[in-house]
């Protein structure tokens, strides 16, 4: 059957471009998800700093509560000093006062340490707030850029699909159907140029008789090795050969 190889080649070119654009579109959701994870990580850093401050404040309250309780005990012991009748009881109460005062000293040192920690945590929070703000601003810009790219590439797909649909009626139905079947089976590359007696995509030499028919007639001939539709390209047409090799999803 006679074939309009120019239109078939144009059809394949459109399909190749559509696949390229769809591949770019397919990557965008993952890029957006990666940005969202970065935003979440920045927020978690800030939340962790705030949680650290909350824990610090609770610990200080607990320590201050212990100090208050111990001071109450000391006050009780001091009152009892005036009521004891023996020196032994008096010395025992003095020891209780001394021991509890030492506990207070240790606890107050801990409180001072926690206050110093609180200063550092508050500084960390201020830095995290600023970083979170800057990161979110930057990430929002990146997401806006990706949204613009997605809109652009979706427009490109619509345009390419429209061109393909306008081209298909110009190709005989049986040839278009054959093209689609081979393209589906061969990862989208249904046509292969022939030059220097070789099928460019699978690198198998074409039989002389088939090569003669391919050069002299406008007929659909399939590569006996890879099954693609063959079309003749003169050696000087390196661009067509290079393009076919570059866009081939795989060789056989």
The pLDDT assigned to 3 comes to 65
Q: Which domain holds residue 227?
A: 172-247
Q: Sheet of 229-232: strands edge to edge?
A: 198-199, 191-195, 229-232
Shared domain for 73 and 114, answered yes or no, is yes
Q: Are residues 163 and 192 in the same domain?
A: no
Taking the C-alpha atoms of residue 236 and residue 252, their distance in angstroms, rounded to an integer, is 25
pLDDT value, residue 214: 86
**What contacts 24+ positions apart, CB below 8 Å, involve 116-121?**
117/56, 118/53, 118/56, 118/57, 118/60, 121/49, 121/52, 121/53, 121/56
Cβ partners under 8 Å of residue 102, min gap 6: none
pLDDT given for residue 247 in this prediction: 52
| DSSP 8-state secondary structure symbol assigned to residue 191 | E
Domain boundary among 168, 193, 226: 168
Count of alpha carbons within 13 angstroms of residue 243, beta-carbon side: 13
Residue 49 maps to a domain: yes
Distances (CA, A) of 8 to 12, 59, 173: 6, 77, 12
Q: For residue 106, give both structure tokens.
A: 């240790």
Tally of structural domains, the chain: 2
For residues 104 and 225, membership in a common domain is answered with no
- Statement to judge: residues 128 and 59 lie in one domain: yes
Burial of 90 (0-12, 13-18, 19+ CB in 10 A): middle
- From the number of C-beta atoms within 10 Å of its C-beta (0-12, 13-18, 19+), residue 66 rates as middle
Are 44 and 161 within one domain? Answer: yes
CA distance 18 to 159: 9
Give how far the C-alpha of residue 95 lies from the chain's centroid of Cα atoms, to the nearest Å: 66
For residues 187 and 151, membership in a common domain is answered with: no
CATH number of domain containing 89: 1.10.287
3-state secondary structure of 223: coil
Q: Single out the residue in 146, 168, 190 at which a domain terminates.
A: 168
Q: What is the pLDDT of residue 249?
A: 46
The pLDDT of residue 240 is 47
Residues 44 and 138 placed together within one structural domain of the fold: yes
What are the residue ranges in the chain where pLDDT is below 70?
1-3, 235-252
Any domain includes 16: no
**206 SS3 class:** coil
HSE-up of residue 39 (Cα within 13 Å, Cβ side): 15
Q: Report pTM.
A: 0.66
Q: What integer pLDDT is reported at residue 235 of this predicted model?
A: 62
């Amino acid at each position: 059957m006679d074939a309009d190889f120019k239109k078939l080649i144009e059809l394949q070119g459109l399909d190749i471009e559509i696949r390229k654009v769809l591949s770019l579109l397919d990557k965008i959701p993952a890029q957006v998800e990666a940005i969202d994870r970065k935003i979440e990580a920045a927020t978690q850093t800030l939340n962790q700093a705030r949680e650290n401050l909350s824990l610090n404040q609770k610990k200080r309250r607990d320590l201050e509560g212990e100090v208050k309780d111990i001071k109450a005990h000391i006050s009780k012991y001091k009152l009892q000093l005036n009521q004891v009748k023996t020196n032994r009881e008096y010395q025992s109460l003095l020891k209780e006062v001394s021991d509890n005062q030492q506990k207070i000293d240790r606890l107050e040192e801990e409180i001072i340490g926690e206050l110093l920690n609180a200063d550092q945590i508050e500084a960390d929070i201020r830095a995290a707030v600023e970083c979170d703000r800057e990161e979110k601003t930057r990430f929002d810009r990146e997401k806006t850029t990706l949204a613009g790219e997605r809109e652009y590439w979706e427009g490109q797909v619509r345009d390419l699909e429209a061109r393909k649909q306008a081209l298909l009626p110009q190709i005989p139905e049986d040839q278009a159907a054959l093209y689609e079947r081979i393209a589906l089976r061969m990862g989208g590359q249904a046509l292969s140029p022939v030059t220097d007696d070789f099928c460019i995509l699978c690198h198998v030499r074409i039989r002389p008789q088939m090569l003669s028919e391919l050069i002299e007639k406008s007929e659909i001939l399939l590569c006996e090795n890879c099954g693609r539709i063959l079309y003749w390209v003169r050696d000087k047409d390196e661009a067509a050969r290079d393009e076919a090799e570059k866009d081939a999803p795989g060789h056989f």
